[in-house]
Chains A and B, each alone.
Chain A
């Protein structure tokens, strides 16, 4: 028996050894076997080595090319490099923040704007398209890799930037061991098979997207990477064309599929499993999917970047435990504590605390915050205070009820009201800003006091945060209502916003772009 993987790239090497000729990755344009993927990632590592990258260095990738990201991730692991994959929309100010925060040696992208950021910070910049082309070409002479970089399983392998209760994102650090434990535990629950075709509609900058690469390697399944356009309105057709058997999703993906199936003719006979993360799946979507696809099993899940995955529901467990988000991963425990830190009995609402090898190392260069969120019992044993509130039943099923800070979820992204508000107030002409998190069917609303139009505020924010974080609706008010201690009164604000009609005009900035 082969020894379990100690370093992330060993997942790939073991898959390549087991079944070198099975397809590992496919896109609409082509495919790569496990053998080819492993060899290409060695060539990619050789290139990074030539560029001077070594164990412990950081590499930041911001791109939408999933194949390129997979190759870079495995190549980084081979050299002991710590990688961070950012959403392709991370540019300008948000990218500057990441660069200053983790001080990478290398930036990889295809965007000239990213190249400029690299030049300003004296970093090496490489184009992902060129890197991928060379890595895939068997004629590329592979530069010799260092004999043994000396990387340990307890060394960091990835930084995942996530929004928190601070105005700027911070990075969750994962070691090889933590990623491998989490991927293996998730695979034990989801049971991907060697003959599965996993259709990934999520960008690999989203950590559940990237984990599909690891889960597929563990099981020997084929991972099909869908582009944003292919996974949009054509989702049903794309799934059919790829022969998808597994669909890892977020609520918007499942909602879209249910909507399309209602108008379709009951196809997708091969789709056997849908998983859901990001936020709760609606009952109506689940029953619509089950009606249209009798063979489909659904597994809802719950987790946060700080421990990757917290809980997974057994297949169709939502039918016997409606409203639950699952049971803790095998080999981990979740318990509920009250405000005094004491454990609460089953049925009582408190904060979820996670223990186990899935609890990540902490936040990059943020010792105080790490100590607060990852405290050590008796000064020894780390646990994760999730900041998520809910209760556990007698059988261990978890029920999520909400958060008590300013984090909210929209379209599967974890967003911080503080971060969005800070970006709005950085726009010239904005005096103050407050976010009303989404409620029911209403999306998040940004309320501002400003001497520019609401649309100009939204446009201006694009210089400071990623477009997907900007609330779709922005209203201008004369003043933000406050409560006794000077804080924004969100209840009064919600009432005030209700009365304000959406009367913004199309901005000059938008018109200028439309004219091109």
Chain B
């Protein structure tokens, strides 16, 4: 999986979570300030990615610094284990 795949999956996840189309994301977009995600919607985003790309979430690995921007979050996904896709 490369950055572009992650970005596409992220756009789809955010579209579901925010209940409106999210397209054209770039790496410097801030999750809190620009997309207005909060702690609940951040978690919903993780859930959506578990289903779509099989992201394996290890609660011990989640760090606030990974949830700053699209870039930091993409790095986190690329460094994570990917398991089975359920949807």
Contact = CB atoms under 8 A, between A and B. Distances in A.
A515 B28 CA distance: 9
A261 B59 contact: yes
Nearest to A240: B60
Contacts of B60: 236-237, 240, 264-265, 267
Given A506-B21, A506-B24, A514-B26, A237 B39 contact: no
Dominant SS among interface residues on chain B:
loop
Interface in B49-70: 57-64, 67-68
A494 to B, nearest CB: 16
A256 B40 CA distance: 7
A511 B19 contact: no
Interface in B8-61: 18-26, 28-29, 32, 34, 36, 38-40, 42-43, 46-47, 57-61
Contacts of A201: 39
A264 B56 CA distance: 11
B43 A232 contact: yes
Given A228-B39, A232-B39, A237 B62 contact: yes
Contact of A229 (B24, B58, B64): B64
Given A252-B40, A514-B26, A234 B64 contact: yes
A348 B79 CA distance: 57
Interface of B: 18-26, 28-29, 32, 34, 36, 38-40, 42-43, 46-47, 57-64, 67-68
Interface stretch (A46-54, A129-137, A465-473): A465-473
Contact of A234 (B22, B23, B63, B68): B63
Nearest to A474: B20
A131 B38 CA distance: 28
Contact of B19 (A228, A263, A502, A514): A502
B64 A230 contact: yes
Given A259-B43, A505-B21, A236 B59 contact: yes
A455 interface: yes
Contacts of B39: 201, 228-229, 231-233, 235, 252, 256
B40 A514 contact: no
